[in-house]
Structure formats: C-alpha cells, structure tokens
Amino acid sequence: GQNIDQPTEMTATEGAIVQINCTYQTSGFNGLFWYQQHAGEAPTFLSYNVLDGLEEKGRFSSFLSRSKGYSYLLLKELQMKDSASYLCAVRDNQGGKLIFGQGTELSVKP
C-alpha cells in the first residue's frame, strides 16, 4: 500500500530552527517533493530529493534517506511568514504520479 506520514501540527519560535519529518512506504519511488501551502492558497514547490543526502536552498534544506523511507524539511531562522502547512509528496514509478501526505501545520510564534 501507499502511506506517507507527517506530524499533524508543530509550533516553533521566530528565529529558531524547526525540522518537519516525513516517512513513507510506497510501492515505488521516483523522488520526494516538499510543498508549502499558506491557508487558502495553492501549494508552492519548495524542494526535490531523489538521491540520499541534503539539498540546501537558502533558509530551507531537505534531506532524504531512501533505505529508511525518511525525509525531513529543515527551516532555519524562522519568520512569521513561515507559518503554513508543509506537504510531503512521493512520486511513484507507475506513471510518475504524486502521493501526498496529510501535511504538517506549522505555527511560528513571536
């Protein structure tokens, strides 16, 4: 079966670092995506990992371990505008469709 797990909610303080975890069990794997979604808006693409290791993009980094079926999104120097839902999605190898987790609602407090 297909299963992607993320924590439902997280809270962090402005200026801090937060790590959002994602574990997956899918019938195939062809890359993992992270999206950010502000309330009432469309998801926007943040990062993509297909090989093991860390990908860094400014304040955001994403890590992948294929053997463990595990990824995390690391957000540094948190800002209030980072309050949003963060979606983990795995691309399968049957037509390349995306399978999404339920998303993690991150609240950044002053």
Partner 1 sequence: DAGITQSPRHKVTETGTPVTLRCHQTENHRYMYWYRQDPGHGLRLIHYSYGVKDTDKGEVSDGYSVSRSKTEDFLLTLESATSSQTSVYFCAISDRQGVSQPQHFGDGTRLSIL
Binder among 11, 25, 44, 79 for partner 1 (CB under 8 A): 44
Residue closer to partner 1 by CB (options 31, 74) is 31
State the pairing for strand pair 104-109/9-13: parallel
Residue closer to partner 1 by CB (options 3, 65) is 3
Tokens describing residue 82: 């980072």
Q: 58: Cβ–Cβ under 8 A, 6 or more apart, which residues?
A: none
Find, among 87, 61, 85, the residue nearest to 73 by Cα: 61
Binder among 73, 87, 106, 108 for partner 1 (CB under 8 A): 87
CB 88 within 8 A of CB 101: yes
Binding to partner 1 by residue 89, rule CB under 8 A? yes
Binding to partner 1 by residue 60, rule CB under 8 A? no
Give bridge partners of residue 75 from the DSSP assignment.
18, 60
Q: How far is the CB of 35 from partner 1 (least distance, A)?
A: 8
Write out the residues near partner 1 by the rule CB under 8 A.
30-31, 33, 41-45, 48, 50, 87, 89, 91, 93, 95-103
